[in-house]
Homo-oligomer: A and B are copies of this chain.
Amino acid sequence: MSEKVKHKHGGDIYEVSKDYGINRQSILDFSANINPLGLPDTILKVIENGIKDIVNYPDPECRELRTAISGYLNVPEEGIVVGNGASEVIFLLFEVLKPNKVLIPAPSFAEYERAAEKTGSKVEFFRLLEEQDFKLQVDSLAEAMDRDVDLVILCNPNNPTSTLTGRDELLKLIEKARNKGVNIVIDEAFIELTAGGNGNSMAEYLKHYENMFIVRAFTKLFAVPGLRLGYGAGSSDIVKKMWREKQPWSVNSFACCTGRLLTDEKDYMKKTHKWLKEEKSRFYNELCKFSCLKAFEPQTNFILLKLVNTELDAAALKEKMIRKGILIRDASNFKFLGREFFRVAIKDRESNNKFIEALSEILGGF
């Protein structure tokens, strides 16, 4: 079956568990970029209270959820759409916009290309350069928007490079895009997991730019990838069309009731920032000590790494790490990345230390 899934992502502990005969619970998963603080208390309450509700169809318009997101982003409810994870929002957006030609800075999340292909859009990649530490050069990207391009989709901070483009830069881009009649989609799935948090988001500029659309998710911030909840914010015109095209009830009953996390979990968010501040630079610095690794400085909760001065490639390293109960993300199937690249999540200190220990056993110390 595995070969049937077109693009492999991280986090498939089910496959590893089956292929290697390891108990799923005992795998230390560094391949999925999830908040290591685990489930916020509110989610447990939401699920307990929500069990009785699964005998009813979920609210097809997700009214309660939209209201909560609207308050959180300070965007009118008419500008909010919700979906079965950010994936559904992205696919729906492409379906509605039906772009002729899409420009995608890459390496980035593979589902953008899939969504574009599905809509029959031409795809062009804007290559992020290793020698620039994969940082997005906004002026070059704007130049690459030729007359055929009608949509640019980018991830900020970007997956798998963990780079962040500042708001001033993005504003320049959006301004230029508007002049050229190009829509800009910004996937902010990890935005709360950056040092500036929501301060790095472009949400407050939505009211000025009809050509901007923002994708978000509960997944990474609240550690709920299994719940399936993403959302999008943009012009009420586009959002209205998305609601019309959406499959009914794609957001399940539990997900429909999690809007209150955005108001009730301020403390969880604070703890998250404390953890990120402490552990991001510490883990990165530890990884920098390996002579056969090049670590790219992370702006969010994961790190892109390159194997250098070694015969080992990412697939072989992944294999060896699995034998130690640790799962990494072989990043070689990301566009423009070679077989030396892999990605690891930043987890809690104890797990990160275990990771360093296992890695040094394989790579022969520092």
List residues of A whose CB falls within 8 A of some B CB: 1-2, 4-7, 9-15, 18, 29, 32, 34, 38-39, 43-44, 47, 50-61, 63, 77-78, 84-85, 87-88, 91, 95, 111, 118, 223-228, 240, 243-245, 247-250, 252-256
Contacts and interface: CB of A to CB of B under 8 A. Distances in A.
A30 to B, nearest CB: 13
A84 B118 contact: no
Given A12-B59, A63-B1, A226 B247 contact: no
A87 B12 contact: no
A254 to B, nearest CB: 7
13 contacts: A1-B63, A9-B57, A11-B56, A12-B60, A29-B56, A54-B226, A84-B228, A84-B250, A85-B250, A87-B248, A87-B250, A111-B247, A252-B255
Contacts of A5: 60-61, 243-244, 248
Given A61-B14, A63-B1, A240-B4, A56 B226 contact: yes
Given A5-B244, A240-B4, A243-B5, A34 B55 contact: yes
B15 A61 contact: yes
Contacts of A34: 55-56
A56 B13 contact: yes
B225 A111 contact: no
B250 A252 contact: no
A247 B47 CA distance: 24
B253 A227 contact: yes
Nearest to A35: B55
A252 B226 CA distance: 5
A250 B88 contact: yes
A63 B248 contact: no
Contacts of A243: 1, 4-5
Contact of A249 (B18, B91, B225): B225
Contact of A57 (B11, B56, B57, B60): B11
The list of the 10 closest CB pairs from A to B, nearest first, reads A226-B253, A54-B226, A11-B57, A14-B59, A57-B225, A4-B243, A228-B252, A87-B247, A55-B223, A54-B227
Given A5-B244, A18-B63, A226-B256, 18 more contacts: A1-B243, A2-B61, A9-B60, A9-B248, A10-B57, A11-B56, A12-B60, A39-B52, A47-B51, A50-B226, A54-B227, A58-B228, A84-B247, A85-B247, A87-B249, A88-B247, A226-B254, A228-B250
